[in-house]
Structure 1
C-alpha cells in the first residue's frame, strides 16, 4: 500500500530516535531504509536533533500567516507552464509568490505534470590519490570528535580565511543560466564571455560569529609569506582582539589551506609567537573549506555580470556584498561544515556533491 507521511509524523519518529539515543546519522539511515525518497534529508534530521537537544520538543509547524494552498489543478498547472515559458529561469520562490501555492504543489506540477528538469554540469577540482583521500577522512574524523559534531563551544574559537581574485567583470556562471526545459528538448547554448584583465586579490577571514576582516592585496603586489605575516595577519588578529575583548587571541584556532605563504616557516613562527593554533585544511579539499563552499561563491555570485570601471568600484561592491551576509549565514556555514565532514567520510575521502 502506497501512502505519504506528513512532516509531523516524520518529526515524531526523529524525536523517538533521539530519545532512545541514536545519532542523527543512524536516524536518517533508518528513515531512508523504511521510506526511501520520502525520508527527510540528513540536514533536516540534524536540525531536529539540535532542536530536541535544546528542549524544544514540538513537532508541529510554526504558525505562519497566509500559508499558500497546496492544491494542484488544471488551472495551476497551466499557470506554472505559462510562467516558465515566459521566464525559463523562474525559481520556486518566484512561482510561489505569483500564484500563492505551496512549493510542494509547484514541485509536483513541474516534475509530475510538466515533466521538466533543470540541468547543470558537475565538476571535480582534482584527481585525488588514495593517500589524499585518507587525509581527508582523518581530518574529518578528528574534527568531528574534537568539536563534538560541531556542538562544542570551541567552534567559536575557529577563524578561517583565504585569498581570492575579484574581477572588474566576471561573467555569470553556467549555474546562473539554467532554464526550465522538457526532457525531449536539446540543451540550450550560451556565448562564452571571458573575465576582464582588471582584478584585485582580497583575503577575507571570518568566524562562526561573523566576518572578522577583509584585506585587499596592494596593486602590483603578490601574496607571499612576507605580506601574509607583516600585512595581512596583523590586521586580522587586531580585528579578532577587538571582537573578543576579554580573550583576545587566547585559544584562537587558525584554519586555512595549504599554499606556500600559509605554510612558510615565518608564518608558523608568527602564529607560534601569538599563541595561535594552526589547523590546516587537508590538501585539495575545497568542499571542506568554508571559504570555497560558502563565502567566495556567495560574494562572487552577487558581483557576476556587473562591469566595474576600476578597483575602487569593484571593492566597494565587494564590501556591500560582504555586509549583506547575516550572522545566520555564518552560523549555517559552520553547521554545514560539520555535515560535509560526515559526507566526506561516507565518500571515503572522495569529493561529494555539495549540499547547498
Structure 2
C-alpha cells in the first residue's frame, strides 16, 4: 500500500496526541518507513498546526489567481524588479506585485526566460587596461614559444610562493562516502584550518619539480631572502648537470620578484626573465596546477608542526609523474589561447 500525504499527516497527528516529541515522531516514522518518511520540517510544521487547533488533514484551498495576471504590465514589472535587484526572491516579487508564485514562475521562465545562477568567483575585478595587458602577454608568449611547441619551453622554470598549513580540512567532495539504503546519513564536524603554517617557494618546469624552499625564521618573502637563499638553490639545481644551461624564469609581480636587486642578480646569473600579467593566477602553473593538486592530497591530514607539513608537501610533489608536469605546461599555453578568446576576462567556468 502506498501512503499519501494525508496518511502521513494522520500518523503525525496520532503521535501528537500520544504526546510524543517531534524528534520521537520523526525517529518512529524513519524506523518504519525509511526513505518514504516525511522530512523533519514537515513534522514540525504539522505539530505547529495541531497546536493551533487544526483538525483537517487536507491541503488548504488555494485562491487561484486568474490567468490574466500574466500580462505585459506584470511582465515588465518583474523585469524591473530583477533589473533593480538581481538577488530578488520569489517571495519579494509576490509581495510587491500581489500575484501567485505559479504566475511569477511562468513570467520568469516562459516570458523573460531568466535563470538564477550562483555567481562565479573571480580573483580580481579587472579593468579594461588589465584585460588588454593579459591578452598582449598571452599573444607575445604564444608567439615566442610557438604556442608551446618550441623546445625553449623546457628552459622555462615557473616559481611562486604559498602557505602550507599544519591542517587543512577536507572539502565536501573528499568527505563523501557510500551509504546503504538502511544506514543513517553520515555527519562530520566542521573543522577550521590551523593557524600553524609555513610559506614555501616552489619552482616547476615542463620536465618536473625543480625545488621547494621553505621560508625560515620570517613571515615575509623579501628580495634579500629571494636572491641570497631561494634563487641560488634553484639555479644550482638546474645547472647541476649543465653549468651553461639556459634558464628562463617565470614569476609574478610580487615586490621581491621585481626589486632592482633581484633583476640585477638574475642578469648576473645569466637568467632570462619571463614576466607575468597582473592579477593572473589562472596563467601561472603553480597557481592553477601545482599548489591546488598537492594541497588537495594533504587535506584532512593533521601534522604536528609546519615543518612536518612542508616535508609532506615535498614528498607528495615528488610523486607527480613527468607526463603530468608535461601536460600542465601544455595546459598553460591552452589557457593563454582561452584568455585571448575571452578578451582578457577570466575564462574558467565560462
Regarding TM over 0.5, the answer is yes
**Which residue number corresponds to residue 327 of structure 2?**
332
Alpha-carbon separation, structure 2, partners of 1:189 and 1:342: 43
- Aligned counterparts of 2:126 and 2:173: Cα–Cα separation in 1: 25
**Paired residues, number:** 227
Question: Which among 197, 210, 213 is matched to residue 212 of structure 1?
Answer: 210
- Give the one of 267, 271, 282 matched to 1:287: 282
Identify if the C-alpha distance between structure 1 residues 136 and 306 changes in structure 2 by more than 3 Å, giving closer, same or farther: same
Aligned partner of residue 159 in structure 2, secondary structure? strand
Check whether the contact 1:251–1:276 (CA below 8 A) recurs between aligned residues. yes
For normalisation by structure 1, the TM-score amounts to: 0.60
Matches within 5 A, 1:1-356: 122-174=120-172, 176=174, 192-242=190-240, 245-246=241-242, 248=243, 250-353=245-348
Moved more, 310-319 or 228-237: 310-319
Task: Please state how far the C-alpha of 1:216 moved relative to its aligned partner.
Answer: 0.6
Q: Which residue of 2 aligns with 1:46?
A: none
Question: RMSD of the TM alignment (CA)?
Answer: 2.5
Return closer, same or farther for 1:325/1:120 CA change in 2, 3 Å cut-off: farther
Q: Tell me, in whole angstroms, the C-alpha distance in 2 between the residues paired with 1:150 and 1:299.
A: 24
Following superposition, the deviation at residue 276 of structure 1 comes to 0.9
TM-score w.r.t. the length of structure 2 is 0.61
- 1:197, distance to aligned residue in structure 2 (A): 1.1
Tell me how far 1:308 sits from its aligned partner: 0.7
Structure 1 CA distance for aligned equivalents of residues 148 and 121 of structure 2: 28
Secondary structure of 1:214 counterpart: strand
Q: Deviation per CA, 1:214-260, whole angstroms, max 9, x where unpaired?
A: 10110335210000010100000000101xx23x3543111011110
1:164 is paired with a residue whose SS is strand
Contact 1:288-1:340 at 8 Å conserved across structures: yes
Indicate if the aligned counterparts of 2:239 and 2:245 stay in contact, CA closer than 8 A. no
1:31 match: none
The SS at the match of 1:162 is: strand
Q: Following the alignment from structure 2 to structure 1, what is the Cα–Cα distance between the partners of residues 344 and 187? A: 34
Contact 1:120 1:175 in 2 (8 A): no
Q: What is the SS of the residue equivalent to 1:306?
A: coil
The answer on whether the counterparts of 1:256 and 1:262 sit within 8 Å (CA) in structure 2 is: yes
Distance 1:154 1:131, change over 3 A: same
Aligned-pair distance for 1:149?
1.0
Q: What is the rounded CA distance, in whole Å, between the counterparts of 2:118 and 2:312 in structure 1?
A: 28
1:204–1:214 CA contact under 8 A, matched in 2: yes
Distance change (3 Å), C-alpha of 1:280 and 1:311: same
